[in-house]
Amino acid sequence: MQIFFQQVINGLSLGSIYALLALGYTMVYGIIKLINFAHGDIYMLGAFWGYYVINVWHFNFMLALLSAMVVCGICGVIIEYLAYRPLRHSPRITALITAIGVSFFLENGMAYLFGSNARDFPQVVKQVNYDIGGVRISNIQLEILITSCVLMLILQLIIKRTKMGRAMRAVSVDNAAAELVGVDLNRTISFTFALGSSMAGAAGVMIGLYYNSIDPLMGLTPGIKAFVAAVVGGIGSVPGASLGGFLIGLLETLVQSIGLSAYKDAVVYVVLIVILLIRPMGIFGKNVKEKV
């Protein structure tokens, strides 16, 4: 039982990272129906930014996290402006290829500038382990869990309570109608990208602290898994993405703990296919009827 709870704790901390990433996917997909393949690489940029400011400017953890969020938010907006905006009315597959191109560009650009070797992330927070009834939990895990829950709550408030959030929801339902009632489409989409990318930036800094190692290709697999999480939770739904992230994180650590770590990625994909077949709109997704 202790082992089980230990794995649950580990799974929740990993899951909260996936959840933060999945939020970006779900918002962008909800609003412009694009699988933003470059999202995982924004998370990588966040981790590198954290590495840089902690090493060079000696920022503390909170300051590094917040600055990474701002920088990644700006990066997201720039990427949307340069690469995705000109393609808004072209076929979906073209936009998808562009997103893949942007992802290649960021990965290889970073590998070219900083080398493709893994680096040690500076340990700004000294690890302290607490023992609660035989279950070991570190302050880093607690910090990740609390920070990501706070971020998710803030995001939920922005989407539900602010004017911009209402505009985002309106655009995701019907962008033409939203424009008719005076929503500025470009500004809303930019804002969505800024919001999603800043979540990814925060996740990047936290994963650097947790795994202690960063490299230019670190965004690829977590990016895809986070997208899986978004689909499982119901794409376009914010609580769904959070739930999906936690589910995928838990599943991965549990599979690993029963000795099948070689198959942990396969299990995630099997779950994805099963969910898509039983409930294609995901756990919290709305069922959209197709009209002829």
Nearest to 247 by CA among 210, 196, 283: 283
Query: Near another protein by CB under 8 A, which window of 57-65, 81-89, 126-134, 239-247?
Result: 81-89
Nearest to 247 by CA among 224, 266, 271: 271
Query: Near another protein by CB under 8 A, which window of 6-14, 44-52, 244-252, 276-284?
Result: 276-284
Distance, CA of 37 to CA of 224 (rounded, Å): 8
Binding residues among 91-120 for another protein as defined by CB under 8 A: 91-98, 100-105, 107-109, 111-112, 116
Interaction of residue 78 with another protein, rule CB under 8 A: no
Q: How far apart are CB 116 and another protein at their closest, in Å?
A: 7
Residue 81 contacts residue 189 (beta carbons within 8 Å): no
Distance, CA of 187 to CA of 184 (rounded, Å): 6
User: First vs last Cα of the chain: how many Å apart?
Assistant: 54
Q: How far apart are CB 60 and another protein at their closest, in Å?
A: 33
Distance, CA of 153 to CA of 160 (rounded, Å): 10
Interaction of residue 153 with another protein, rule CB under 8 A: no
Count of other CB atoms within 10 angstroms of residue 157: 11
Query: Near another protein by CB under 8 A, which window of 29-37, 53-61, 186-194, 206-214?
Result: 29-37
Q: What is the DSSP string of 40-52?
A: HHHHHHHHHHHHH
Tokens at 54, concatenated:
């902690």
Q: Which is nearer to another protein, 176 or 277 (CB)?
A: 277
Interaction of residue 33 with another protein, rule CB under 8 A: yes
Q: How far apart are CB 143 and another protein at their closest, in Å?
A: 32
SS3 of 85-119: the string is HHHCCCCHHHHHHHHHHHHHHHHHHHHHHHCCCCE
Q: How far apart are CB 18 and another protein at their closest, in Å?
A: 15
Contact track, another protein, 209-248, x by CB under 8 A: -----------x---x--xx--x-----------------
Interaction of residue 134 with another protein, rule CB under 8 A: no
Count of other CB atoms within 10 angstroms of residue 27: 27
Distance, CA of 204 to CA of 181 (rounded, Å): 37
Q: How far apart are CB 37 and another protein at their closest, in Å?
A: 9
**Residues found near another protein in the complex (CB under 8 A):** 29, 33, 35, 83, 86-87, 90-98, 100-105, 107-109, 111-112, 116, 220, 224, 227-228, 231, 262-263, 265-266, 269-270, 272-273, 276-277, 280, 290, 292
